[in-house]
Structure 1
Amino acid sequence: MSSAGEGLSRPLPEQVRLNVVDLAAQVLGSMPAVAVPAPLRGIAKFDPRKRAKLGGAPIAAQLENDKEFREAVAESVAKGWPELAASLAEGNVPPAADPVLVAAAAYLTRPPGWAEMVETARADLEQSAVAAEGSAQEQTVARLREQLAAQKSAAKDEAERLREQLRAARAENSDLRRKLHDARERLKAADQRAAEMAQAADEARMAASVAGSAGESELRRLKERLADAERHLEASRRAAREGRSIEDARIRVLLDALQDASAGLRRELALPTTISRPADSVAAVAPGAPNVRGVPARALADDDPQLLDQLLALPQVHLIIDGYNVTKTGYGTLTLADQRNRLMTGLGGLAAQTRVEVTVVFDGAELNAPVQVVAPRGVRVMFSAPGEIADDLIRQLVRAEPQGRAIAVVSSDREVAESVRRMGARPVSSALLLRRLGRA
């Protein structure tokens, strides 16, 4: 073993130092008590597992300053790794040897050039540390990429959830706007009734104040009240006549349907009435369902191509059409005027072929001026009044029909379809009517 006056310019690498201290701690436990260096006698009594951990600094200092103690540890290394010790003594470092073990053995045995061997091991360890750090960085980058992908996916899901909430909020907002409009209309009517009642109260107070006026004034007031009563009576009589006309029309339509179903005849009874059809009694802006308990059309599905043909073959069927729902389904790229004209052309041919009662309802709530629509023969055209949507007008038409008459409502609006179905009418999708008009 030779020190050769050599020394290290830097402390041992931490891994090498720990290995050297561990080897020395093992040798320290097997040395006779008299041979143990005085500074380490207390450490030699430690538990073997704690000796290197608790006495690392004193052991390392003793190895550096006590040549005899270091040589004792070196002899143990030479016995444990004879091939490594022999190679190092000859100045050769085994290529496959552990750099930590090589540096520890070189430090303890002190062969020629041992300091260079330690520095070479230091360089190998630093290079390995750099490589390990690079691998760790690559793993970190991969993990971060996975986390980024997961966060992108979560952000996409969150964005979709927020879009769903936005759509729901918009639908709710639309419903609230409609309800607000209805509430405003009711409030307006209530204010008007309150004003009328207040006016009536004022008139009553005024009448009470002039109760003691002359008889001529009293007579004049009685005459005015009599004239008002006569006007009210005439209005009541006129309303009664109109009511009887509506009921007469309902009865006539039912009789027509029953007579056509039994004998296959299509004719009118010419009952005295000022209303030709029940649908004419529904108020609407002129452009100028039944509670039907049996319009099953052989229980066909709503999208069955044969459904509309079978409904049109029923006696005295009334075909009610949601105009803009059909036109926007079939040719929504056209202007509203072109949409109406195209639909009127198709329905004119359909009415001429089938001779059924056809009513087309358009939403007129947003119209700024009257709309000119040329209605073909056999086709009734109606626009909803301001403050009213076409869906409500369609429901009024269905309610106007007598129970038992066949009614078909053409609309792809689910809410309209469900409401008229509950009223007894048979809903038909807009696509079926467009297909039927295409055949015609």
Structure 2
Amino acid sequence: MSSAGEGLSRPLPEQVRVNVVDLASQVLGGMPAKAVPPPLRGIARFDPRKRAKLGSAPIAAQLENDKDFRETVAESVAEGWPELVASLAEGVVPPAADPVLVAAAAYLTRPPGWADMVEAARADLEQTAAAAEGSAQEQQVVRLREQLAAQKSAAKEETERLREQLKGARAENSDLRRKLHEARERVKAADRRAVVVEQEAEEVKTAATAAGSAGESELRRLRERLSDVEKQLETSRRAAREGRSLEDARIRVLLDALQDASSGLRRELALPSTISRPADSVAAVAASAPGVRGVPARALAEDDPQLLDQLLAVPQVHMVIDGYNVTKTGYGSLTLADQRNRLMTGLGGLVAQTRVEVTVVFDGAELNSPVQVVAPRGVRVLFSAPGEIADDLIRQLVRAEPPGRAVAVVSSDREVAESVRRMGARPVPSGLLLRRLGRA
């Protein structure tokens, strides 16, 4: 603030001016609207954080020219710093008081000798600023000296590095000169060898020309021999084809004889034309419709997508399916009835394509009444009896099969998979069957 106060020969110090304006802006925000000086009414509506910053000049001018406004601010200062204001009124400046607060309080309250108090505060602030500036200059000198020492050290290191580089360059130059001399010697030796090679090439060319006629004669002889060999090869192929036809005929005769013998044995033993499967002997709660055909097991990993296709290709394979384990894995959000129907629909298409024996086992331990299941042609559907779980019925079906028959059990239940594996069946994860049904 550049305006001089009464009794002041110079403007207030900047720090004191800022403090005075800040105090006045705080008081201004709490004054009644009618009591606010007209020049400051617009500023009084500012945000408290912006009032002192944006209204600095008008507030300072009003404090200088409006005694009532200044006394209002002084009353607020007296309430905030009563001991300081009382000391200043007695003409005593507290020795430990902040010069800025002393000058601000003296300017606003105007005790006797207030101008001298402001000037004394100005002197203290100037002395403190000079001391701070001197300390900063000393610190700057120290930093400059440190930077100079660092630069000298860096220059020395750079000089040493350049000297080492120069030394290395000189050694490299000497090595390059030596290599250049050796290369020149090698070029001269190569030129001498080239002359010798040209002479030898001329001699070889002469010899090749002389041998050309002999080579043509040999080539004609080899062509004639190749023609004879091709004729012999064709004769051998014809003989092999005739021999293969004879062998095929022998195998066909043996197969026909074996088929006739098996038919005769079936008639002699009076075996029925259709026989029941081993799975038909397992006691269970049957559904409303019968079923037939199944799945096998082989050498692929259990999560290999090709496993199920390979198992379905095994002759006379029996596929036993843990029904609810498959349906709850694939579409567990449906009701149990809808799960069974969806599985039956998919298995009907699979059996029609592969002609395998399929047995689906559902857990019937908690059923209160018979369940109607429309099983497709070729699909056997069984429910476990009361007091029995589907896992036990699956193990009975595996034990009922004769040794050596391929049996696949579709279930992601680890306990079921391990138990049927020990019994000789191949476990298949439910996800593989679901993917196969989705593909169909």
TM-score, with structure 1 as normaliser: 0.40
**Structure with greater contact order relative to length (CA < 8 Å, sep ≥ 6):** 1
TM-score, with structure 2 as normaliser: 0.40
